[in-house]
A = this chain, B = another copy of it.
Amino acid sequence: MPLREKALIARIRRAAAKGASNRAAFGIGDDCALLRVPPAQDLLVTTDFSLEGIHFRRDWHPPESVGHRCLARGLSDIAAMGGKPRAALLSLAVPAKLPQSWVDRFFRGLLRLGDRFGVSLLGGDTSQSKAGVLADIVVLGTVPLGKAFLRSGARPGDRIYVTGELGAASATLNLLFSGRDLRAADYRAHFYPEPRIAVAGFLREKHLASAMIDLSDGLSTDLAHICEESGVGAQVRSETIPKGSIGKSRQEIDLGFALDGGEDYELLFCSPRSKRVPRRIAGVKVTEIGVITREQRLRLQRNEKTFTLKPQGWEHFKR
């Protein structure tokens, strides 16, 4: 093992030791991480790349933001299934010349977020990279047996809801592409997205959602995923979509970002008409934006007119 990798593993060990303590889980120093799943719980597992040049750029994103976003992607997937995150593993490959301080700050961002949700780092893999920083996060979570939210549960007549506000993450990315130098603190939706674990837990405990997904690919695409898996369609009212705001002046973003921009990590869920969904859950705004239809099409109502809503797909940094 090259010295560089030894140093990385030592760093992961120290990081893990500092992380949230988790007596039902250990593993760094052995070939596998070991986790004790509580009785009557299903295990949730998700894995997500964070690749330099595809998901982040070192000249745009502070290392803390890269670490935060890396883990947030996985936590948000656990939230989407109504789960409680338990532990994480990290595969990390770095170029030989990467400053150690970059790695330290990356871990600081990742572990700070992990601590807040009681998620410790159980291990992973390290390697050299010939092509920038390559990370793959694995997040493990649990959910009561048979109670996970799936994408396939939406039924005609169900109301469609989203948490928080949409589009700020991709509007920020747009500014970065235009060459603007941004203060991360004024653009937190992009640099430090907040996984909606508490909202998801509330929805599960109160049996409020029939289907759920996290908004990682954008509203138009993720709603299409729900409709496809559920064999239904949807009609969304454009005036009701909660648009995010960015910058120090909190400027409201354009509708296009809210409809098609990815990486918001808010939740989109469906709820039977008979359920009363609070307008605020765990401090987060919840907005009704439309209804599930029998006709298998996505439609957008705007100024009394109805348009086809086309899933635009989210291509990260590919332009």
Q: Residues on A close to B: CB < 8 A?
A: 1-2, 27, 29-37, 39, 42-49, 51, 53-55, 76-78, 80-81, 83, 89-91, 93, 122-125, 127-132, 134, 136, 138, 140-141, 143, 145, 148, 150-152, 213-214, 217, 221, 229, 313-316, 318
Contacts and interface: CB of A to CB of B under 8 A. Distances in A.
Contacts of A27: 45
A51 B140 contact: no
Contacts of A143: 34
A284 to B, nearest CB: 18
Nearest to A135: B136
Contact of A93 (B51, B91, B128, B130): B51
A98 B143 CA distance: 38
A236 to B, nearest CB: 20
Given A32-B141, A315-B2, A130 B54 contact: yes
A32 B51 contact: no
Contacts of A213: 31
Contacts of A91: 47-49, 136
Contacts of A54: 93, 127-130
Nearest to A228: B29
Given A1-B221, A134-B134, A315-B1, A42 B36 contact: yes
A117 to B, nearest CB: 15
3 closest A-B pairs by beta carbon, nearest first, are A131-B131, A31-B80, A136-B136
Given A2-B318, A129-B51, A214 B140 contact: no
A27 B81 CA distance: 10
Given A36-B145, A91-B136, 6 more contacts: A1-B217, A30-B80, A31-B151, A32-B141, A45-B123, A130-B131
